[in-house]
Structure 1
Amino acid sequence: MKAFDLQRMAFDKVPLEFLGEVALRSLYTFILVFLFLKITGRRGVRQMSLFEVLIILTLGSAAGDVAFYDDVPMIPVLIVFVTLALLYRLVMWLMSKSEKLEDLLEGKPVVIVQEGQLAWEKVRSANMTEFEFFMELRLNSVEQLGQVRLAIMETNGQISVYYYDDEDVKPGLCILPDECVKRFMVVPESGEYACIRCSHVVTMQAGEHQLCPRCAHPEWTKVSRAKRIT
Structure 2
Amino acid sequence: MKAFDWQRMALDNVPLEFLGEVALRSFYTFVLVFLFLKMTGRRGVRQMSLFEVLIILTLGSAAGDVAFYDDVPLLPVLVVFLSLALLYRLVMWLMAHSEKLEDMLEGKPVVIIEDGELAWSKLGRANMTEFEFFMELRLNGVEQLGQVKLAILETNGQISVYFFADEEVKSGLSILPKQCTQRFKVVPEAGDYACVRCSEVIKMQAGDHQLCPRCANPEWSKASQAKRIV
Measured against the shorter chain, the TM-score band is 0.7 to 0.9
Alpha-carbon distance between aligned partners in 1 of 2:138 and 2:171, rounded to the nearest angstrom = 17
Q: TM-score, normalised by structure 2?
A: 0.77
The alpha-carbon deviation at position 165 of structure 1 amounts to 0.5
The alignment status of 1:200 with 2:200, answered yes or no, reads: yes
Mark the CA change 1:213 to 1:45 in structure 2 (over 3 Å): closer, same or farther.
Answer: closer
What is the DSSP-based 3-state SS (H/G/I as helix, E as strand, rest coil) of the residue aligned with 2:62?
helix
Alpha-carbon distance between aligned partners in 1 of 2:45 and 2:74, rounded to the nearest angstrom = 26
Alpha-carbon distance between aligned partners in 2 of 1:214 and 1:131, rounded to the nearest angstrom = 20
| Residue identity matched to 2:110 | V
Alpha-carbon distance between aligned partners in 1 of 2:187 and 2:173, rounded to the nearest angstrom = 15
Residue 84 of structure 2 corresponds to 84
The alpha-carbon deviation at position 204 of structure 1 amounts to 1.0
| Residue identity matched to 2:205 | Q
| Residue identity matched to 1:163 | F
What is the DSSP-based 3-state SS (H/G/I as helix, E as strand, rest coil) of the residue aligned with 1:150?
strand
What is the DSSP-based 3-state SS (H/G/I as helix, E as strand, rest coil) of the residue aligned with 1:46?
coil
The alpha-carbon deviation at position 218 of structure 1 amounts to 1.1
Residue 104 of structure 2 corresponds to 104
What is the DSSP-based 3-state SS (H/G/I as helix, E as strand, rest coil) of the residue aligned with 1:52?
helix
Alpha-carbon distance between aligned partners in 1 of 2:166 and 2:79, rounded to the nearest angstrom = 57
CA root-mean-square deviation? 1.6
Residue 123 of structure 1 corresponds to 123
Gaps of 5+ in 2: 1-43
Alpha-carbon distance between aligned partners in 1 of 2:132 and 2:112, rounded to the nearest angstrom = 11
Gaps of 5+ in 1: 1-43
Alpha-carbon distance between aligned partners in 2 of 1:127 and 1:56, rounded to the nearest angstrom = 22
What is the DSSP-based 3-state SS (H/G/I as helix, E as strand, rest coil) of the residue aligned with 1:179?
helix
Q: TM-score, normalised by structure 1?
A: 0.77
Residue 191 of structure 1 corresponds to 191
What is the DSSP-based 3-state SS (H/G/I as helix, E as strand, rest coil) of the residue aligned with 1:157?
coil
The alpha-carbon deviation at position 54 of structure 1 amounts to 1.6
Residue 209 of structure 1 corresponds to 209
Alpha-carbon distance between aligned partners in 2 of 1:194 and 1:127, rounded to the nearest angstrom = 24
| Residue identity matched to 1:138 | R
The alignment status of 1:221 with 2:202, answered yes or no, reads: no
Residue 140 of structure 1 corresponds to 140
User: What is the aligned-residue identity percentage?
Assistant: 78
The alpha-carbon deviation at position 79 of structure 1 amounts to 2.0
What is the DSSP-based 3-state SS (H/G/I as helix, E as strand, rest coil) of the residue aligned with 1:62?
helix
The alpha-carbon deviation at position 50 of structure 1 amounts to 1.6
| Residue identity matched to 1:119 | A
Mark the CA change 1:142 to 1:90 in structure 2 (over 3 Å): closer, same or farther.
Answer: same
Answer whether contact 2:45 2:157 (CA < 8 A) is retained. no
For residues 48-104 of structure 1, give each alpha carbon's deviation from its aligned partner in whole angstroms, at most 9, with x where no partner exists.
222222221111211221222121123322221122111111101100100110010
Alpha-carbon distance between aligned partners in 2 of 1:73 and 1:86, rounded to the nearest angstrom = 21
